[in-house]
Chain A
């Protein structure tokens, strides 16, 4: 994994912060915190070296742009226009003139310095509380130069955590299905990208239909559905080696796979003679267990983060609803009782909520409810959208939405979107192609 290359993570100045600035992320944030992200400073020699190996004119400015975009996308911060900055960034990094930053209404300030050291990139940064006139945080990272975007993401995670009190979600990746071509004959490939849409890589060629990729807890493996040789089966893919294998030996379609939070099992549906039930396979001893046994369709299983429960989708009541059971399959309880039908339940990494897709009167909603079904909240409504996946801190959901591009409903486009748990900050997540079935990784550097 890339974080192996994060050689040094050292504290520059272990000054206890006073934490006057606080960002509340539990409500829709209508006045994002004004923050000045200075272009990181860099000496001429380092600049030239990076230009040569990375083909980037000013790597320091590029890293600060990564940070700035992340902060902006979170909806919690308002990065200020650099044209208004009064103090030069190299001097500000040593000692900010807080009056200058207060004058442009900045409440927080990020400064930093980039140097070229033994073919590697070293980035140090400081977070300052402008009104209190205090340094809140100072860190330095050294890593292989090609890793420079990740440094920007890790810095954003540190700033986010320092100011909100919760872990960030910026040094993460999204795996999804890249889609191209007409709707009646879509080409689908597995694709992986950084959370901000950069560094896209395609993991399959598009020769066969692939659907629903999901990461394991360490982000090294992916489980997904492939129609290889026209036999729809759940596969396991090692991202680094590219080695794939079929999960289990089932005499019919297996689908809707996910890892258990401890990474030891894959849970999925197996369809036979018109009936789909939920099964698990232990990845170590290959033992297959049947979890549900009901003549209805049981699918879309998702474990609670403590491995003790499973939420799933079943039409045993006549229509698709959400159910929760113990992970051995006992104690099945229906939890969705609102108007409409419900699908794709996913347990929050925090454990307290289940996200879902709801269909009602020709509309599709992404929503959340408590694990006993109470407190249902719909976050977003559209003509067609589904398959929410949680950010690792449980504060943001990513999902996909299909839209018609003309009046007759002929044109067609599928894109990834994200929305905060608060129901605010809905954003398009840029992808190179059309995209569906997003799955969010856990934090890469942890």
Chain B
């Protein structure tokens, strides 16, 4: 027998959710949209404001924790809303497939300020398949002695992969630390070396 408090069909709720997302976006009350994608680095969380891509996070960083952090720092008007992330999701797929060398999506760097922001903005200067040392990045960012601060800035890069902090390596050529783990960094560098050589 069916009760009036019987379960609601999940696919019905999914349709209502999609409609809510569309209306929230139209009314400009969707402050942070997010989705996850799968790739060789495991699930990646992608989040965007109306200004652009604001966060890329690895599973090891705790996607729930990252969303909680975005809600506190940007706005709690956060919804799972894949459409806003379609372009970056497609470009990341192409990148992981070796079919793309640069990302063409707006990026919102509101989560990072000061010297760290200067460093993160200069990450784009390191071309596909190339690397730069932490010391070289410190010089480019205008503070040659701030090598350790460059390391911190890279570790806290809010949009890894898209802004390529994985291309910043130790002066001795070894890969060094990475927010997604040292293995992920070696994987990205190997991908870019392979695709770069094949070209």
A, B co-complexed: no
